[in-house]
A = this chain, B = another copy of it.
């Protein structure tokens, strides 16, 4: 069935026609909102609003029920009351529909009766070849085939797949990701996953040629063994970044009422993360930081980091952050120190690691990238962490040019100020917010990641090293 599920899901991401239930020509219902999402992104298949009370809905001819439509329907999207759903699924099976996104809530997340109703839906679906996504989910976002679950989402594709057990979070990741230069091949909000589940989508994205990195927000999985096996196998080809929530008592209880998940304890998950080579994050900010690093990474040979900073204080705290993350401050060669000593004045600076460039950078913008190049070419350096408070377009490009020469993992710890597009006086210029997504995307594609704290940057460099070690270990196991 494994081959089947991959081709089944692939069909669901490429529907030629979609029927949307729960819409109205007279008032704004949830279905209208979902219909608007498809219109906004420019879905170019056929859209069939289903509404017995209307001739048209949002300018489209409306149908009173599925069987009135005289053409095939590939996908249906349902946001009607729970008691009306079984009948719709029944009709969809007869019509030969391939997939049903059930937005409707009030199932397994509400207890035993809800779980019984989920089972009922699956039993009906099994009479045909209908697969269910949800219930209690948002469904699909796929820029390349113009699927969307929220009005205003972008049609620009990228290399990241995202699987989410939280619907609203998947919107947030899409909108905010784009502003941060992160673009997506496909997203799925799986909700309670009574039929197609987390593992099915993980398997699919493992084989999806549009996807280079897989990210997920996860509360729990129903089949832990299959998850571990799949994740370990896919990790050897594509990095998997996991935001796991629901560890603590309160968090686990919340996960139960959110998607009916059994969240499991931290020790078990620690072992799973390690064995499967998964990359762990704990909030959205970390998720974005790691994604930027894993889109097109250079993997480090070892744990020796060079820290480059102009403010001396952050040079110290960044050094702390590196050691706390398990990295080691590289010892520079004499040649490197000599070159650095020619780059900036002796006083108020340091040519040892961490490099403290002092105020010199306020007068000469080329010092930062030249310094990065010098330390990056030192064979005692495996990776570089740059603390730079504000970055402008010119600086980003000069760093990309350096990276193309040195080809080592590079992380920038910058600041949330970066994002406001407000310059600091005459001296420090920031990237124009309109250019930010494009510039960030170029940085990521060049193997340069961006972070909002030195701790996040250091942990990301360590994550690259751990992933490299996972790949090495796995290669040895395969060879022996």
Contact = CB atoms under 8 A, between A and B. Distances in A.
Contacts of A24: none
Nearest to A169: B313
Given A175-B425, A419-B419, A452-B416, A257 B166 contact: no
A421 B424 contact: no
A386 interface: no
A285 B359 contact: no
A175 B359 contact: no
Contacts of A168: 310-313, 358-359
Nearest to A261: B316
A312 B426 contact: no
Interface in A150-189: 150-153, 164-169, 171-172, 175-176, 179-180
B422 A179 contact: yes
A169 B251 contact: no
Interface in A314-356: 314-317, 319-324, 328-329, 346-350, 352-354, 356
Interface stretch (A207-215, A239-247, A294-302): A239-247
A250 B151 contact: no
A417 B455 CA distance: 20
Most chain B C-beta atoms within 10 Å of own C-beta, residue among A348, A354, A359, A422: A348
A204 interface: no
- When all copies of this chain in the complex are counted, the total is 2
A453 interface: yes
Nearest to A217: B313
Nearest to A258: B312
Contact of A424 (B152, B251, B282): B152
B323 A251 contact: yes
Interface residues of A, number: 96
B433 A248 contact: no
A357 B257 CA distance: 12
The 10 closest A-B pairs by CB, nearest first: A152-B425, A166-B313, A168-B311, A105-B348, A251-B320, A248-B323, A169-B313, A245-B317, A250-B329, A105-B347
Interface of A: 28, 30, 33, 40, 82, 104-106, 136, 150-153, 164-169, 171-172, 175-176, 179-180, 217, 219, 243, 245-251, 253-255, 257-259, 263, 282-286, 307, 310-317, 319-324, 328-329, 346-350, 352-354, 356, 358-359, 362-363, 389, 415-417, 419-422, 424-428, 433, 436, 452-455
15 contacts: A28-B363, A30-B359, A136-B348, A150-B425, A152-B425, A167-B359, A169-B313, A172-B311, A180-B416, A180-B417, A251-B317, A253-B319, A285-B452, A419-B420, A420-B421
